[in-house]
Amino acid sequence: MKIQAEINGEMREFESSPWRRLLDVLRTDLRLTGTKEGCGEGECGACTVIVDGRPVDSCLVAVGQIDGRSVRTVEGLADGEILHDVQDALVRFGGTQCGICTPGIAVCAAHVIEREPGASRERLRELLSGNICRCTGYQLIVDAVADAAARRLARSDD
């Protein structure tokens, strides 16, 4: 079928079987390889993208379901060369190690702090718990996301 969707702010139109995984279409057809496959069954969160303001595992979404919707991937976080607060904090705080879970975590965390910049560390852990990282023990990621949230909150107070 013909699918129309806004991908990272840009209207895209493409042909695809509606049953293919959104993950495969992003990676193969649109060459947006920042979205990663870790498990293919919605457990690890490495393929997290935002569809119409909701974080989803793109391995569990049929591409037909995004017709007429907006999709935000890791490639859509930074503003040109200016990193999103979450990306910048993940680098500064050591919240990325091997990096394979990082795009999914960055996407989810960006969504979380944009919605709930005042979230406590405990709340952040809960909101991010759909994303698995095997390297960090999560501590440095929580440090990074908490810092990014605080910066965002400070800006909104200005």
Partner 1 sequence: MLSTTDGQQNSRRARNEGSVGRSIPRVDGVAKVTGRAQYVDDLELPGMLYGATVRSQIARGVLESITLDPDYDWTDIVLATAADIAGNNVIALIENDQPALVPIGGEIQHVDEAVALLAAPDRRRAREAVQHVRVTTTPLPAVFSMEEALSGQILLHGDDNVFKSFLIRKGGDIEAAMAGADLVIAGTYRTPAQEQMYIEPQGMLAHWDERGRCHIIGSLQCPYYVHKAMKVLLDRDDDGVVIEQSVTGGGFGGKEEYPSMIAAHAAIIARKAGCPVKLIYDRDEDIAATTKRHPAVIEHRLGLYSDGTIAAIDVDVVIDGGAYVTLSPVVLSRAILHASGPYRAGHVRVRGRAVATNTPPHGAFRGFGAPQTTFAYERQMAKAARALAMDPLEFRRKNMLRLGDTTATGQTLSYSVGSAKVLDAVARVAGEQTVGSGVDADPAAVHRGRGVSFYYHGAGFTGRGEVHLSGRAAVALLPDGRFEVRSSSTDIGQGTLTIFSQIAATALGVPLDRVSIADQSTRHVPDSGPTVASRTCMVVGRVVDVAAQKLRARIADWAEGNDLADKPTATQAAMMACDMAGTASGEVCETAQYEHPPGIEWDDDTYSGAAYPVYGWAACLVDVAVDPHTYEVAVERCVHAVDVGKAIHPIIVKGQIEGGTLQALGWALLENVVYDGGRVANASMTNCIVPTFADTPELETIIVEEPYPFGPHGAKGVGEIPMDGPAAAVASAIEDALGVPFDELPVLPEVIERKLDPESAS
Count of chain residues binding partner 1 (CB under 8 A): 56
CB of 101 to partner 1, least distance (A): 5
The enclosing H or E element of 6 equals strand 2-7
Q: Which residue from 107, 17, 32 is spatially nearest to 63, judged by alpha carbons?
A: 17
Should residue 152 be labelled a site residue for partner 1 when binding is judged by CB under 8 A? no
Alpha-carbon gap, residue 141 to 67, rounded angstroms: 33
With contact defined as beta carbons under 8 Å apart, do 59 and 47 qualify? yes
Site mask for partner 1 (CB under 8 A), range 12-41, x = bound:
---------------x----xxxxxxxxxx
Residue with tokens 């992003």: 26
- Using CB under 8 A, which residues numbered 43 to 82 contact partner 1? 43-44, 46, 73-75, 77-78
Should residue 149 be labelled a site residue for partner 1 when binding is judged by CB under 8 A? no
With contact defined as beta carbons under 8 Å apart, do 78 and 15 qualify? no
In the complex, the residues that contact partner 1 under the rule CB under 8 A are 27, 32-41, 43-44, 46, 73-75, 77-78, 83, 86-88, 90-94, 96-103, 106, 121, 124-126, 128-142
